[in-house]
Structure 1
């Protein structure tokens, strides 16, 4: 039975048996912008050179056989597509040499939009409850010198991956996860700017649109299943569709997309937008704002939503604001 991705703020990380998988074998948007074409555009996926992946190959080439035993898993291992709240397997400090650790940092920076993106990934250098970069994990699935492979970086409130498009028609190499411990509406939360930008869109909506966008009962849930396309197909996406918005509101949608994608490298952003076009365009994306409480944290005028969510045929961005940020992302035209 699959384990839940849990958050350890109130539970000692050392007491949590979070990962047992190792023992089981285990920016800017593209120039095309946010097309609202009514028909899916059958565009080819972007073909680009990935600096991060080249660094992963360099990292792999320098690993000893003993190191590979600790961090390498088969491409088709179930752990590859999971989300993590601590290091998967052994932490970086127990596996990698100092020069190799510096190379892992270079990989992460190449996966980001630059220093600002990396600052957000690292939560301003704190790495949240992981406390340090060295306590996070960096694993390689498959063999970068041969066929399909993926690099997966894991730590508290973070799961990032890059794979040189080994996972076809899928952005970010698979589902990603990010978060930060400060309360979601607090300016100390490094991702608070994303909620502020979404709030600008909500404030521009008229009363009828807001009524459709607001969900007053329940929440979209968390963990991997909250961004599972298999689960999503069981219901009609909640909220207000971009197709129901005015031209001025669509400009704010454009700004929201630029904002939430801003920490990521351009090639990932381009891939996200290509997938959205292939699955019906931005007009299919719905915005939903949830007012029910989350983990005992109640909403009010100053903190109006516990979650906000963007969902379309091949795109899910599920963002928990309260009591602190957990964001789950899945983008794929294979949905």
Structure 2
């Protein structure tokens, strides 16, 4: 892709590795729920047909093949289809390295970095989400391609006894973009995974697999390696937030799995927003 760009195109979408945006900071590390990294829309006339095809192939390479159709549905609902109200930025040099491509849009911050950032999973923090059309979803979230992830995690809650539930339930959802690492010195809310029984831990492991499932195998593996380096799931806590329970059905719409340098924050109310920040050490600054 980089090699097909004209000088004019590069001036718009290519950046130095450590480019600082006056308002958005170190731009390659930025994560947001709804943004355009620049105004060069993928769908518009800025790119040639060949370049648009390459961008599509890059996108398909960073998500799981089994999930391409679901992401396409999400993009159709959220922005009218792939490339519409979406933009990419390329940082560094793909030939000499380091480099990273960031794809942005409504309910999307995805990255492809060729492991240029070895300490972080996914090349840095990512965001995904979905609004099938109503904005304020019903309790069963009909049509939301990511809601099954929440149902899988809620199965753990169903397995908890009364004492465990009191620990796991947290009264107030934190700000969704507040996914900076707390390390081992700051308190983390929710039930410690070490307080779970073996069958509950097994369900948590299955649920973690479903969270990673939409993404390519190399990113899944890197995420698990980062998690392992900080103590694995046993170093994590699981919180179910009780303040935004759509339908008051105790199927928790908002929840978070969090460790020293691992945050998977799922906000299901009023519709799905998911913030993911994973690294092998907690001293990496968040730019959200």
TM bracket (short chain): 0.7 to 0.9
Shift of 1:176: 0.1
Aligned to 2:29: 81
Q: How is 1:31-180 mapped onto 2 (pairs within 5 angstroms)?
A: 59-77=1-19, 78-84=26-32, 85-89=34-38, 90-92=40-42, 93-114=44-65, 116-126=66-76, 128-129=78-79, 131-180=81-130
Shift of 1:329: 0.4
Aligned to 1:332: 279
Aligned to 1:209: 164
**Match status 1:288 vs 2:239:** yes
Runs of 4+ in 1 over 4 A off after TM superposition: none
Q: Does the 8 A contact of 2:129 with 2:274 survive in 1?
A: yes
Shift of 1:246: 0.9
- Relative to the length of structure 2, the TM-score reads 0.87
Aligned to 1:42: none
List gaps (5 residues or longer) in structure 2. 20-25, 283-288
**How far, CA to CA, are the matches of 1:175 and 1:151 in structure 2?**
13
Q: Does the 8 A contact of 2:85 with 2:106 survive in 1?
A: no
Shift of 1:271: 0.5
**How far, CA to CA, are the matches of 2:185 and 2:179 in structure 1?**
12
Instruction: Encode CA deviations 1:171-195: one digit per residue, 9 max, x unaligned.
Output: 0000000111142741311111111
> RMSD in angstroms over aligned alpha carbons?
1.8
Q: How is 1:156-305 mapped onto 2 (pairs within 5 angstroms)?
A: 156-182=106-132, 183=137, 185-216=140-171, 218-223=172-177, 226-229=178-181, 235-293=186-244, 299-302=246-249, 304-305=251-252
Instruction: Encode CA deviations 1:226-282: one digit per residue, 9 max, x unaligned.
Output: 11116x777411111221111111110111011111001111011111111111121
Instruction: Encode CA deviations 1:157-184: one digit per residue, 9 max, x unaligned.
Output: 0100011111121000000001111427
**How far, CA to CA, are the matches of 1:299 and 1:81 in structure 2?**
33
**How far, CA to CA, are the matches of 1:252 and 1:308 in structure 2?**
16
Shift of 1:200: 1.0
**How far, CA to CA, are the matches of 2:188 and 2:74 in structure 1?**
34
**How far, CA to CA, are the matches of 2:179 and 2:121 in structure 1?**
13
Shift of 1:100: 0.8
Note closer, same or farther for the CA distance 1:194–1:229 as it changes in structure 2 (3 Å cut). Answer: same
Aligned to 1:25: none
**How far, CA to CA, are the matches of 2:242 and 2:255 in structure 1?**
9
